[in-house]
Amino acid sequence: MSDVSMQLHHRQRSGKPIRGLYLPLHLRLACFYALLLVCILAFFGIIVYQQARQQAYKELDNALSSRAAGLLLGKDLTPEWMAHSPYKYPLLLPGDSGIGIGGISIEVLNTKLELLATTTGTLEGGTSISGQATSPAPWDLVAAQTALRGGACPENKQVRSCLFSTITYQGQQVRVYTLLNDDPYPTPHLIQTARSTSSVEQSLVNLRQIIIEGSLLALLLALLGGWLIARGVLSTVQRITHAAQAISAAQDFSKRVAIPMSPWRARDEFSVLSETFNTMLANLEEVYRRQQRFVADASHELRAPITSIRCNLDLLTKAPDLPPEEINAALVDTHAEAERMGRLVNDLLTLARTDSQPPVLPGHRATHYTTLIELDSLVLEAFRQYRHVGESHPPYPRILLQHTEPALIYGDADALKQALIALLDNALKYTPSTGSVALALHTHTSEQTQIACITVSDTGIGIAEEDLPHIFERFYRADHARTRDKGGSGLGLAIVQRIAEDHLGSVKVESTPGKGSQFTLCFPIADDDH
């Protein structure tokens, strides 16, 4: 990899903008469409010009050949006159004496290339065109000699030879048609008709100018229209760019991309992009707020045990003559706060590990776990563990095991047990010793999927209705009854929800204040062909 490529790669990885020539996208699109239009106009302009040129010269050739054929079949050249020709002066033919616009010059020659008749009345009889240094009339000696040698004449089968040629006469291009009539009666002769091509060329020049000017106008309109359309379409991208720049500069995720709403404006891909970008900003704002709140709450939760431990250690250091019972109380308090801080750190690490797992897309049942877990055995193990704790540390709420059904799921046994224990701890902490906590496992079918649900219900203080949507948030405390003196870190239910989502499951709660709560933890049962 070259040094330039390595530098570009490094700037891309670091998120730094790559400096270079800035060319707006709408200008690129306008230039691209203009270039495409230039190619199209040039292609069709050349085709139209060539066809018009061919048609114009074809009409000119038809006029010359028709005039020669008319003279051949007409009565201008009588047999009596042709038998005694040439006279001192050649026969003056009716017609135009010039070769300008609409004018066709005619010359009749015998086989010796002597002038017999012409539309020009100033030539002497018997003039041979082969001996003229300069042509007094627009005849073509080479064409006449070629016609005398014979050749095909597809335009007229009655004559032996005819051909078209172009000569320069009096500084202008002249189109000449040569026709050989070798009929011995009255005498073989050549007919040459000529006409200037200036009118044709002038028409072609006008056509070429129209094509060029029209193409330039179309190109200008295309550039302007393409630029306006592309700018209007890409204005949404500019708004998104400006919003992203403003968010990056101010660290304010509350900003949104303005979406213009009007009756004539239809929804398009860029409108959907703007809405998606706004949705992403709303999600980022919520995540950012949660992160800020989480950092603040974590700092507050860690500050309390650290302050308590520091105060106790300062007391023991500065007052070495304290009574033994006060020293013991300070040590016990320090130990309790250290354990509390340890639980908080462990919970934070657990959340960090679960947050690092790739999210599972909705509607997908694939899981990264491959170990089958007997959920009923896990429930029984947790029940036995807490039943022994209650028997050895009274007073303790009664723990009841209700109906259980066999269920196999894919997952992590330690994580599942941690979620179950967190729910049991939560129920036991807020249930009086005269109450009870029930544990059950049942299966059912939901939307053609087998589901296994663990329920943990208690007869404790319950949860207020306005607190139910927030109890799975990190460090959320429902009310003053659920204070920190219960020994919790405020992360237990958040960990339960994260473990449930990591196993493609869910957790929900139903509660009545003063009567108790019921938490339901559900997971999809493993398929037989998984």
Q: What is the mean pLDDT of residues 194-202?
A: 87
Q: Taking 90 as the threshold, does the pLDDT of residue 285 lie above it?
A: no
What is the DSSP annotation of 111-137? TT-BEEEES-TTPPTT-BGGG-SS-SS
The answer as to whether 143 is a domain residue is yes
Q: Which of 217-221, 238-242, 276-280, 366-370 has the lowest mean pLDDT?
A: 366-370
Quote the CA–CA distance of 424 and 418 in Å, as a whole number: 10
Q: For 219-245, write each residue's pLDDT tens digit.
A: 888 888 877 877 777 777 777 788 778
Q: What is the mean pLDDT of residues 447-466?
A: 90
How much of the chain exceeds pLDDT 90, in percent?
15
Same structural domain, 330 and 379: no
CATH of residue 466's domain is: 3.30.565.10
Same structural domain, 273 and 299: yes
User: What pLDDT shows up at residue 377?
Assistant: 92
Q: What size, in residues, is the chain?
A: 530
User: What pLDDT shows up at residue 521?
Assistant: 94
What is the DSSP annotation of 333-354? HHHHHHHHHHHHHHHHHHHHHH
Q: Which token pair is 55?
A: 């048609």
- Could you give the 3-state DSSP secondary structure of residue 292? helix
Domain stop point among 330, 355, 380: 355
Q: What is the mean pLDDT of residues 274-281?
A: 83
- The band of 440, judged by pLDDT with boundaries at 50, 70 and 90, is very high
The answer as to whether 16 is a domain residue is no
Q: Which of 72-81, 145-154, 185-194 has the lowest mean pLDDT?
A: 72-81
- The band of 458, judged by pLDDT with boundaries at 50, 70 and 90, is very high
Task: State the helix-helix crossing angle for 198-250 and 269-318, rounded to 10 degrees.
Answer: 20
The answer as to whether 516 is a domain residue is yes
Give residue 461's domain range. Answer: 372-524
Closest CA to 502 of 355, 304, 288: 355
Same structural domain, 343 and 383: no
Quote the CA–CA distance of 439 and 60 in Å, as a whole number: 107
CATH of residue 165's domain is: 3.30.450
Q: For 289-331, write each residue's pLDDT tens digit.
A: 777 777 776 776 777 778 888 888 888 888 778 888 888 888 8
- The band of 334, judged by pLDDT with boundaries at 50, 70 and 90, is confident
- The band of 206, judged by pLDDT with boundaries at 50, 70 and 90, is very high
Q: Which residue blocks in 74-197 are alpha helix, DSSP H?
A: 79-83, 141-148
Same structural domain, 314 and 435: no
Same structural domain, 105 and 153: yes
Contact in structure between 258 and 275 (CB atoms under 8 Å):
no
pTM, entire model? 0.48
Pairing of strands 115-118, 105-110: antiparallel
Q: For 476-523, write each residue's pLDDT tens digit.
A: 766 544 444 455 567 788 888 888 988 889 999 999 998 999 999 999
Query: CA of 361: how far to CAs of 60, 210, 231, 280, 502, in Å?
Result: 78, 62, 36, 16, 11
The answer as to whether 56 is a domain residue is no
Q: For 340-354, write each residue's pLDDT tens digit.
A: 788 778 777 777 666
Q: Which residue has the tokens 């105060």?
A: 311
Same structural domain, 383 and 481: yes
Q: Taking 70 as the threshold, does the pLDDT of residue 117 lie above it?
A: yes
Reading across the β-sheet that carries 436-446, which strands appear in turn? 398-401, 436-446, 449-458, 516-524, 506-512
Domain stop point among 174, 196, 218: 196
Same structural domain, 404 and 498: yes
CATH of residue 336's domain is: 1.10.287.130
The answer as to whether 116 is a domain residue is yes
Q: What is the mean pLDDT of residues 408-425?
A: 90
Quote the CA–CA distance of 271 and 82 in Å, as a whole number: 89
Same structural domain, 301 and 346: yes
Closest CA to 188 of 79, 74, 89, 67: 79
Quote the CA–CA distance of 196 and 219 in Å, as a whole number: 36
Rg (CA), the chain: 52
Q: Which of 42-51, 175-184, 424-433, 436-445 has the lowest mean pLDDT?
A: 175-184
Same structural domain, 377 and 511: yes
The answer as to whether 96 is a domain residue is yes
Domain stop point among 165, 196, 227: 196
Same structural domain, 442 and 490: yes
User: What pLDDT shows up at residue 51?
Assistant: 93
Quote the CA–CA distance of 66 and 64 in Å, as a whole number: 5
Domain count, the chain: 3
The answer as to whether 209 is a domain residue is no
The answer as to whether 245 is a domain residue is no
Same structural domain, 321 and 391: no
User: What pLDDT shows up at residue 110?
Assistant: 81
Closest CA to 72 of 97, 93, 100, 96: 93
Same structural domain, 100 and 151: yes
